[in-house]
């Protein structure tokens, strides 16, 4: 028997085996009680992956906007209310198991196909920094599995056509997704830096000043320590930079580029450690979600170089209250004649429309947020660029 016949016989045997398998009695669902649209959809994707790998049915748990997506019609509805009650037909299931951080390790997939159990997969982010920081129970998803990816595309698509952006056909299109901080994320300023030590912060301030050709620069340090401010001022020693700090009233000059800087704790200046800070800035807790503007500027230049300075169209998605001003600032600093620009302000009330608008582009440059990560999983970008730590970025080229 030749090799081809052997492979055909093996494929036939596997097919017959799958046909003879009894129908599974268990099912998979998800629970994401808080968060934005992208957080709910990421929870759906994770549960979908477990169901896909174990060949189990997926139960659909409704959330805001989900009734506008195909997934609402593709699966049997089921949900867990905030009081812990269950909604939907669960009479055929003997028990419900909700995985949590303390009792389970999902990396081992402890799921029994025929135990008449509904397995509830808890939410965890796709942002690696967030997972590590908060010790989320998590597992790896093979987002490049072609069958799984196609199924996601069929599930996460609008039931009714949404308005599309009018993009140029003769240019490589680039989406730049810049989070400043909307109602759920407090902004830190026009520019932000994150570092592992105060010495790193000082070096980054020098870099920012050089990037802008040493213009008037105002640096506001989020600290109560005047001695720390003096240390920064004396160490940097650049006459174009003025400093302020948290104790002083914040007055931003329209003639300066402003830089808000969450400083690292340093016992030399800050005294004994405190149990908690009196102000919480999400950008300090999730630095890869809020990279500085210099990251986006640098990566647009790198992307242009990657394509040998071919004609590019760069479109800015941002929650900045002055998107056109920010876009013009980027345009001036990038300063490449092969690039034309457009912008769209991110609107939390139109999240679904913005999500699918983001998927129209050839390339994506973004911080590590669930929103942009989700867009990358249901689209076919040629290049994806995002930060991987405080100093490096990851470039994924798909062609």
pLDDT band (50, 70, 90) for residue 264: low
CATH, residue 295 = 3.40.50
Given pLDDT bands bounded at 50, 70 and 90, which one contains residue 67? very high
Question: 3-state DSSP helix/strand/coil percent for the chain, to nearest 5?
Answer: 35, 20, 45
The stretches of the chain forming alpha helices (DSSP H) are 3-20, 37-54, 71-74, 128-134, 146-155, 198-211, 226-236, 267-270, 282-285, 293-306, 323-334, 351-358, 370-377
Same domain flag for 250 and 300: no
pLDDT in tens, 152-193: 999 999 999 988 899 999 999 999 998 876 544 444 443 444
204 phi, psi to nearest 5 deg? -70, -35
Nearest CA-CA partner of 393 in 303, 328, 319? 303
Distance of alpha carbon 33 from alpha carbon 39, whole angstroms:
10
The reply to whether 314 falls in a domain is yes
Integer Rg of the chain from CA: 25
Q: Are residues 52 and 108 both part of a single domain? A: yes
d(CA 319, CA 373): 17
pLDDT at 378: 94
- Are 84 and 41 members of one domain? yes
Reading the block at residue 388, the tokens are 């991987």
| Helices 37-54 and 351-358: angle between axes, nearest 10 degrees | 60
pLDDT at position 83: 33
Query: Are 134 and 179 part of one and the same domain?
Result: no
Query: What is the distance between the alpha carbons of residues 223 and 207, in angstroms, rounded to a whole number?
Result: 21
Residue, of 150 and 390, whose pLDDT is higher: 150
Number of domains in the chain: 3
Separation between Cα atoms, residue 237 and residue 230, nearest integer Å: 10
Asked whether residue 245 falls in the same domain as residue 368, the answer is no
Same domain for 224 and 297? no
Range of the domain at 381: 172-183+290-397
Q: How far apart are CA 142 and CA 52, in angstroms?
A: 11
Residue 387 CA: distances (Å) to CA of 54, 145, 208, 294, 399: 33, 24, 17, 12, 20
Q: Quickly tell me which residue has 């799984």 as its tokens.
A: 148
The answer to the question of residue 263 being in a domain is yes
> Do 140 and 178 fall into the same domain?
no
Is residue 121 domain-shared with residue 220, that is, in the same domain? no
Domain co-membership, 238 together with 322: no
- Judge whether 18 lies within some domain: no
In this structure, the answer to whether residues 206 and 178 fall within a common structural domain is no
Position 3 in a domain: no
Give CA torsion, residues 302, 305, 306, 311, to 10 deg. Answer: 110
Mean per-residue pLDDT of the chain:
75
3-state secondary structure 222-248: CCCCHHHHHHHHHHHCCCCEEEEECCC
Using CA atoms, how far apart are residues 233 and 390, in angstroms rounded to an integer?
A: 23
Sign of the CA dihedral with 286 first, then 287, 293, and 296 last: negative
The confidence band for 21, taking pLDDT boundaries of 50, 70 and 90, is very low
First to last CA, the chain: 39
CB of 183 within 8 A of CB of 373? no
Q: What is the pLDDT of residues 113-143, one digit of tens each?
A: 777 788 888 888 888 777 666 666 778 899 9
245 and 308, same structural domain? no
Q: Are residues 309 and 179 part of one domain?
A: yes
Is 161 inside a domain boundary? no
Nearest 5°: phi and psi at 295?
Answer: -60, -50
The per-residue pLDDT for 300 is: 95
Q: What are 191-233's pLDDT values in tens digits?
A: 444 444 677 778 878 878 887 788 888 887 777 677 888 888 8
Q: For residues 193 and 294, give the distance between their C-alpha atoms in angstroms, rounded to a whole number.
A: 9
């Amino acid at each position: 028997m030749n090799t081809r016949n052997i492979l055909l016989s093996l494929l036939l045997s596997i097919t017959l085996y799958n046909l003879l398998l009894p129908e599974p009695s268990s099912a998979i669902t998800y629970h994401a009680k808080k968060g934005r649209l992208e957080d709910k959809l990421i929870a759906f994707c994770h549960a979908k992956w477990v169901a896909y790998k174990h060949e189990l049915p997926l139960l659909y748990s409704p959330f805001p906007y989900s009734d506008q997506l195909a997934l609402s019609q593709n699966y049997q509805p089921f949900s867990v209310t905030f009081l812990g009650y269950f909604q939907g037909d669960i009479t055929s299931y003997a028990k419900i198991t909700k995985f949590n951080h303390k009792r389970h390790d999902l990396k081992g997939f402890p799921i029994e196909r025929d135990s008449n159990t509904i397995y509830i997969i808890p939410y965890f982010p796709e942002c690696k920094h967030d997972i590590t920081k908060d010790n989320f129970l998590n597992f790896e998803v093979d987002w490049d599995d072609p069958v799984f990816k196609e199924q996601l595309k069929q599930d996460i698509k609008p039931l009714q056509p949404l308005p599309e952006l009018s993009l140029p056909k003769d240019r490589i299109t680039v989406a730049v997704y810049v989070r400043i901080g909307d109602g759920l994320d407090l902004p830190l300023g026009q520019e932000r830096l994150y570092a592992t030590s105060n010495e790193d912060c000082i070096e980054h301030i020098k870099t920012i000043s050089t990037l802008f050709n040493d213009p008037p620069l105002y640096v506001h340090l989020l600290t109560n320590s005047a001695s720390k401010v003096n240390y920064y001022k004396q160490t940097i020693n650049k006459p174009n930079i003025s400093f302020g700090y948290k104790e002083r009233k914040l007055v931003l000059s329209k003639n300066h580029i402003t830089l808000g800087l969450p400083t690292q704790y340093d016992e030399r200046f800050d005294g004994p450690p405190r149990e908690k800070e009196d102000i919480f800035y999400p950008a300090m807790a999730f630095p890869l979600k809020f990279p500085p503007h210099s990251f986006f500027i640098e990566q647009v230049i790198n992307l242009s170089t990657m394509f040998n300075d071919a004609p590019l169209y760069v479109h800015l998605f941002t929650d900045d209250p002055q998107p056109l001003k920010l876009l013009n600032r980027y345009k001036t600093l990038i300063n490449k004649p092969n690039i034309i620009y457009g912008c769209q302000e991110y609107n939390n009330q139109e999240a679904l429309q913005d999500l699918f608008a983001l998927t129209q582009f050839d390339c994506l440059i973004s911080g590590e947020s669930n929103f942009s990560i989700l867009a990358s999983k249901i689209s076919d970008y040629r290049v994806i660029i995002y930060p991987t730590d405080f100093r490096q970025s990851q470039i994924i080229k798909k062609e």
